[in-house]
Amino acid sequence: MEEIERSGASVEEAIDNALRDLGVSEQEARISIVQEPRSGFLGIAAQPAVVRVALQTPTGEASDREEAPDAELDEQADIGADFLEGLLEVMGLDADVEVNESAGVTYLDVWAVDENEDMGLLIGKGGHTLDALQEIVRNHVQRQTGERCRVMVDVEDYRKRRRSQLVRRARDAAKQVKRTGRPQSLDPMTAYERKVVHDTVAEFAGLATASEGEEPDRRVVIRPDGSPG
């Protein structure tokens, strides 16, 4: 079984690097977190995220373990939803948490019970508060299960709308690169958003993507496959 370790500024970035080097999708791989990222004091002794990614056992060679990923995901969703409900209660927000699936992603959807409740407080400017909430839930789920958290927190469909915008933008940029043959750099994005772009552009033959720059200005560059990086 082929297995590699890769690092990155975040867990998602490290996973993205490993999947791209292996040339497989997340559904075709088994992922283990070797090391969580640490910022260090004043940037000193900072540590990157490190993940180990192995190819899944080919169909026909697996046994009862084939059902494990779905069971693990269900468990993560239940743990995450319970934790998130308790967190919202402590925050004094009257909101419901629902587990839903969309475009292959399992979401913990947060909805206001009272239409006058301001859920924008959980989203923040540019989704920064929502990203922080995601990190809190992610850490809790990983501590409880020992597995990488694969559920996403969303508030009143903010992430889903953002994902649709990213997919449209990535497709438009990919078409332009195909037409002109010139690389195109997109706006800075989070690791999750960059993965959405990588996956979208992968639908286009003859194109390649790469994440370039340092956080928080790291961005995706789309270029013709085989052109200089």
What's at 114, amino acid-wise?
Answer: D
* Residue 32 confidence (pLDDT): 80
pLDDT for residue 59 = 46
Nearest to 66 by CA among 58, 54, 76, 74: 58
> What domains, with CATH codes, occur in the chain?
3-60 (no CATH), 67-156 (3.30.300.20), 162-224 (3.30.1370.50)
Q: What does the pLDDT read at residue 103?
A: 83
Identify the pLDDT of residue 67: 44
So what's the pLDDT on residue 108? Answer: 97
Write down the pLDDT at residue 65. Answer: 41
As given in the structure block, the two tokens for residue 203 are 């639908």
Tell me the average confidence (pLDDT) per consecutive run of 10 residues in the chain, 229 residues long. 82 81 73 77 70 70 48 94 96 94 92 87 91 92 87 95 95 96 93 87 91 85 80
Q: How many CB atoms lie within 10 A of CB 174?
A: 21
